[in-house]
A = this chain, B = another copy of it.
Amino acid sequence: MRFSTRGRYGLKAMFVLAQHYGKGPLPLKQVAENQGISEAYLEQLIGELRKSGLVKSVRGAQGGYLLGKAPEKITVGDIIRVLEGPIAPADCVVADDADICDQADRCVTRLIWERVRDSVSEVLDSVSLADMLAQASEIQGGSPQCQPISQ
């Protein structure tokens, strides 16, 4: 029951962009170095974030990436859903195609997965990048960094 590096790296990258919000585009190289993440790998992830509209890009020299919306309007859940897919501990509780399960109304384990899904969604949707910025300034020298190399 782990999130992969896709979601975790993506969230860190978005946090870095949030810290730079309003200061123009930030080159991916700086984001990657800041977090100790492979730039080429992060490039793939941020490409998906761009297609989703959560980030914008500026091409060419002096270019880079920026948040597509204000930090208040981007939640952790938004980011995770783009990079990890729908939040659901089992296929039968993926919100959109809930009717995939023909036994839905008689299934007891499904009730468990629904509760897990809802509680994870509630946590992730309740935290915005702006909230994370606020928390970072509470924590002295706050950074999104956690295990620079393997995390």
Contacts and interface: CB of A to CB of B under 8 A. Distances in A.
A15 B106 CA distance: 14
Contacts of A2: 1, 88-91
A143 B108 contact: yes
- The count of identical subunits is 2
Interface string A118-140: 01101110010000100110011
Given A106-B139, A112-B127, 6 more contacts: A11-B112, A107-B145, A108-B132, A108-B135, A108-B143, A119-B119
Interface residues of A, number: 55
Interface string A92-109: 100000001111111111
25 contacts: A1-B2, A1-B80, A1-B87, A1-B120, A2-B90, A2-B91, A3-B90, A8-B90, A11-B112, A91-B151, A92-B151, A104-B146, A105-B139, A106-B143, A106-B145, A107-B144, A108-B135, A108-B142, A108-B143, A108-B144, A109-B132, A115-B123, A115-B127, A119-B122, A120-B120
